[in-house]
Structures are given as structure tokens and as C-alpha cells.
Structure 1
């Protein structure tokens, strides 16, 4: 799996954790091992520009996903996963820091970025949270992936609560 993390934000983040959680999420979702993903970390000004350009919404947001080949997880265990370009996930550490601090179970910026990375991966794979049933499915899967990754990393304690934009 080819995953590039490009930090253009000027903020120190745990790039290895972002890479690791992205790889774990893609493996868990059974995405072809030769697929490619790009994670770009930007400052609030750059994120605000993207948010306005692509969503027509003011202000910076926490994560945006830009799918390329619209890859989907295999529907069955015996189905061969498709290979291709997943796309780009754009993260904003400034927004992540604020969200993490304000969450019901306060957590660090890096923990929020890990959660947002999984959130972005799921969006690239076609998951959404506009409807209540979609939200339940996506956020349940997001939590299961974060919990599994944290257990694999030997990280104890409660997982960050899902972002509920």
C-alpha cells in the first residue's frame, strides 16, 4: 500500500501515527495492497479555501476527502479487491486541536487527526453520514477501526469519541 503523508501546515503532528492508522483502516476494509492514498495536512487558511471552493461553505473544516477511482471494499470475502488510486485526504491540525479539546472525552490533536484520518478513508470508500442510518453505519465502523488500531498499537484508555459534524 502506498500512502504519502505531506505536512504543509507548519504544525508538528505525529505523521507516523497518521500513516499507521490509514494503513490499518485500508487493510481492515480489504483494499488492494497496491492501492495509493495521499494525506495532505494544511493550515486553517488553506483548508478554508478548499472548503469554500469544493463545498461552498465558509471557514476551515477538519477533514476533506477527494476520491479518485471510487474504490469500494469487496462485498464478499471471496471477492478480489480492486486496485487503484483512492484519492486525497486533507487534514487541518488547527481544527483538530480545537475539536479534540472540546470533545466530550477531551483528547489530543494527534488523537483527533487519527480519528479524522479514518473518517477520511471511509469517505473515500463511499461511506457518508447524511442520513441517520448512514451515520450509524459509518461512525460505528470508524469507532471499530480506531479501537482495533489502538489495541494493535498497545494504546490503552478510552478511544476518542467520533466527530459528529
Structure 2
């Protein structure tokens, strides 16, 4: 088994082509290798600002659009029900380890690429690896954790040729 990217497009601002998906799969592979993750599934959805605004408000209580949201499936909330399934060994081997969902606003990615003076591909790559690291438990609540996360992001992006 390997790391797998499953993606969905729910926006009409940009066509999502094979070249971009291949780039994001490469980013996933490099980031996984950096973190010692060699198997699992990441679900990625491209949305517009309106949709990410709705999700940000619903799940984070923040009433504005954002660039990327991550929902790790290995975290559990206090009030969350734990569901246990009995699977045979064969069934268990067939199921991918679901790492979580990443949602990227293409609208915000375009705005930020323009603001930072780099390509849309770099911005989408940055947001994707940023979201992936959040799925693994990284955060940027203080300077030290932000510096660690930024370093990892830049390392992965440079490996796929998405430098500033």
C-alpha cells in the first residue's frame, strides 16, 4: 500500500488537470517520506470562497473565508461516538488508512499567489502540504511550531521544484 490522493472539484474558477494532480501526488509522496508515513489516503477537495467560508464558520466558528482547512480522521472530540467494526484480516488489509480531508479554496489560492508574487501551482502546493502536516498533528500556534512547520513545507516544496 502507498499514500493515495483522492480528489474532488467543487469549484468552477479553475480547471483541475492531470499535471496539477500529479504535482500534488508528488508532494504527498515527499511529505509522507519526510514524516515516515508510507501508507494512507488523503481526500482533497477544491472549493470556492463561498464554500470554504461556510465550512470555516460551521466547524471553526470563524465567519470568513480561509485558504485551507484540514480535518484529521485520527483525532477524536470528547463528545464523539466511537464506532468499532469487526473486520477479517483480509478486509482490514484492503481498507486504506484514512488520514483525513483537506479543503482548499481556489479563490484564495489565486489571490495569495498574486499577493506573494509566485505561481498558482506553488500556492496550491503550499496549501496542500500545509494541510497534510495539520492532518499529522502539526500546528503553528507559537513561533517555534510555526518555524518547524514552515521548514518542513519549504523542504517538500523545494524537492518538487516549487521554490519562491
Unaligned residue ranges in structure 2 (runs of 5+): 76-95
2:37 matches 1:37: no
> Aligned ranges for residues 1-80 of structure 1 at < 5 Å?
1-10=3-12, 11-13=14-16, 14-33=20-39, 35-70=40-75
Provide the aligned length of Structure 1 versus Structure 2: 138
Whose Rg is larger?
A: 2
Moved over 3 A (4+): none
Kept after mapping to 1: 8 A contact 2:42/2:101 = yes
TM-score of the superposed pair, with normalisation by structure 2: 0.78
In structure 2, what is the Cα distance between the partners aligned to 1:91 and 1:115? Answer: 11
Give SS of 1:3's match.
strand
In structure 2, what is the Cα distance between the partners aligned to 1:17 and 1:93? Answer: 16
C-alpha displacement of 1:94: 0.7
Kept after mapping to 1: 8 A contact 2:4/2:25 = no
> Which residue number corresponds to residue 90 of structure 2?
none
Unaligned residue ranges in structure 1 (runs of 5+): 71-82, 161-165
> Which residue number corresponds to residue 108 of structure 1?
119
C-alpha displacement of 1:40: 0.7
Higher relative contact order (CA 8 A, sep 6+): 2
In structure 2, what is the Cα distance between the partners aligned to 1:24 and 1:7? Answer: 23
Kept after mapping to 2: 8 A contact 1:64/1:89 = yes
In structure 2, what is the Cα distance between the partners aligned to 1:144 and 1:56? Answer: 32
2:101 matches 1:88: yes
- The root-mean-square deviation of aligned C-alpha atoms, in Å, is 1.6
In structure 1, what is the Cα distance between the partners aligned to 2:53 and 2:103? Answer: 11
